[in-house]
């Protein structure tokens, strides 16, 4: 694996696991008042398109990162809708 | 400009402007209690690495999207630290 792909995988790992603290925080506090619903909806849509982009480019870091990021964001979106 | 690049630009536009509703929400409410500090810190670091990745790949959508996303996230991070 070349160094650029490794850099992409590290970048993708960070921008993916970044949503875990938010997910657990919202899960535990049962409060999402300060989290923007618009952000979650627009971001999830964009991440879905990045996933398609990555598939076209056959770029593994882009595919993996955006697939998992999409799952995390949809869970946070669900929690936001539930707890407001 | 080929259709894959256009798809990437649309994806990048969405995952970038997604942070504007959060930025304005936090700015207006002066409250960021429910927003995870860990998320903002890890995400900003990851976006910075995506920027470097995009420069190596010479992929315009990745460079543009991540540069502006980084700026928006650093502003939200500043607001989070200020308002808690």
Q: What is the CATH number of the domain that holds A22?
A: 1.20.1280.290
Cα–Cα nearest to A47, from B50, B45, B25, B37: B50
If we measure between CA atoms, which residue out of B28, B6, B11 comes closest to residue B76?
Answer: B28
How far, in Å, CA of A23 to CA of A3, rounded? Answer: 31
> Alpha helix (H) ranges present in B1-84?
3-17, 19-29, 37-57, 60-83
* Complex ipTM: 0.88
| Residue B18 pLDDT | 96
**What's the pLDDT at B72?**
97
CA A62 vs CA A38, A47, B82: distances in Å: 23, 10, 33
How many structural domains compose chain A? 1
Residue B46 forms contact with A (CB below 8 Å):
yes
Which runs of E-coded beta strand occur in A10-70?
Answer: none
Best of A50, A70, A79 to disrupt the B interface (most B CBs within 10 Å) is A50
Q: Is A2 at the interface with chain B, CB within 8 A?
A: no
Averaged pLDDT score across all residues of chain B: 93
Per-residue pLDDT 10s for chain A (84 aa) are 889 989 988 998 999 999 999 999 999 999 999 999 999 999 999 999 999 999 999 988 789 889 999 999 999 999 999 997
The H or E element that residue A72 is part of is helix A60-83
Task: Name the stretches of chain B with pLDDT < 70.
Answer: none
Task: Mark yes or no for CB contact A25/B14 under 8 Å.
Answer: no
Query: Which residue range forms the structural domain that includes residue B56?
Result: 3-83
pLDDT of residue B61: 75
pLDDT for res A1: 82
Which residues of B are less than 8 Å from A49 in CB distance?
Answer: 7, 10-11, 14
Which pLDDT score, from 0 to 100, does residue A65 have?
Answer: 85
Residues 6+ apart with CB under 8 A from A6: none
pLDDT of residue A38: 96
For testing contact with chain B, the best of A24, A32, A38 (most B CBs within 10 A):
A38
């Amino acid at each position: 694996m070349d160094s650029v792909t490794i850099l992409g995988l590290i970048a993708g790992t960070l921008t993916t696991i970044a949503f875990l603290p938010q997910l657990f925080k919202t899960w535990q506090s049962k409060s999402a008042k300060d989290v923007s619903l618009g952000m979650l909806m627009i971001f999830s849509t964009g991440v879905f398109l990045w996933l398609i982009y990555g598939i076209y480019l056959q770029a593994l870091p882009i595919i993996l990162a955006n697939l998992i990021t999409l799952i995390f964001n949809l869970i946070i979106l669900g929690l936001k809708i539930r707890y407001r």
